[in-house]
Amino acid sequence: KGRDAWKPVEERPRKISAALRAYAAMTTSAAFGAVRDVTQIEHK
């Protein structure tokens, strides 16, 4: 923890797919059960 926590030696580029971005936009926090909530992406 703190200063002794593991950290990667160097930052690596990560490719995040469109599908993963869409899934992330629809999910709620783990504190709320990490369920899909499509109301977060519906247009008003």
- 27 CB neighbour count, 10 Å cutoff: 15
Question: Total structural domains in the chain?
Answer: 1
33 HSE (CA, 13 A, CB side): 3
- Render the burial of 6-23: b for 16+ CB within 10 Å, e for the rest: eeeeeeeeeeeeeeeeee
Question: What is the reported pTM?
Answer: 0.43
Expressed as residue numbers, the domain containing 28 is: 2-40
Mind listing the pLDDT tens digit of every residue in the chain (44 residues)?
788 888 888 888 889 998 888 777 777 666 666 666 667 666 65
